[in-house]
């Protein structure tokens, strides 16, 4: 089922997110399937449960459609249940980011170049994995949602001022999306 994606200004994006109950395999499997369908319909590369109004620590990252730009992502798809960042590099890098919850806005964001994450995959098996390059960027962006943060929270003050009017329009619900969305 395609779920509505909550937009900037919604409290759902800022709420505290609880650990998913790994014993609820049926419920989590259904949520993962719905999130994947929603992500595909919205033509995105990542989606966190809070973005669809579910305040659980669950993200999906899928870079397979980005292989024209990043050929190393040809098989990159991860479902991460209850992810925890174990390590972050001191080295940082800057990339332009966008978000399905903040439609039409893109901005440069600085994040660690490498991270190590522990999580449960869709088979409910524990995984510890290191990420770098754009895969790292996608994972960090989605994990930020689990902390109630959006990429626009991390932009420079001048850029924040430049996008303030657009953010206000999104929070008022006066923007159109090509996917099912909710304020």
Residues labelled catalytic:
142
Q: Are 84 and 17 in contact (CB under 8 A)?
A: no
Beta bridge partners of 131: 115
| Buried/exposed 108-140: b ≥16 CB within 10 Å, e otherwise | ebebbbbbebebbebeeeeeebebeebbbbbbb
Q: Are 119 and 127 in contact (CB under 8 A)?
A: yes
Structure tokens at 154: 């991390």
């Amino acid at each position: 089922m395609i779920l509505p994606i909550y937009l900037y200004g919604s409290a759902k994006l800022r709420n505290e997110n609880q650990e998913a109950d790994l014993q609820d395999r049926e419920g989590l499997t259904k949520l993962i399937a719905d999130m994947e369908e929603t992500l595909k319909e919205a033509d995105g590369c990542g989606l966190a449960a809070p973005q669809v109004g579910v305040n659980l620590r669950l993200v999906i990252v899928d870079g397979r459609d980005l292989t024209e730009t990043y050929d190393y992502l040809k098989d990159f798809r991860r479902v991460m249940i209850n992810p925890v960042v174990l390590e972050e590099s001191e080295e940082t890098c800057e990339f332009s980011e966008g978000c399905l919850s903040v439609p039409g806005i893109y901005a440069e964001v600085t994040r660690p170049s490498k991270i190590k994450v522990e999580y449960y995959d869709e088979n409910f098996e524990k995984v510890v994995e290191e990420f770098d390059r754009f895969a790292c960027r996608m994972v960090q962006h989605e994990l930020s949602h689990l902390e109630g943060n959006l990429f626009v929270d991390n932009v420079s003050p001048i850029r924040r001022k430049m996008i303030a009017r657009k953010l206000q329009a999104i929070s008022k619900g006066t923007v159109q999306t090509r996917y099912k969305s909710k304020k």
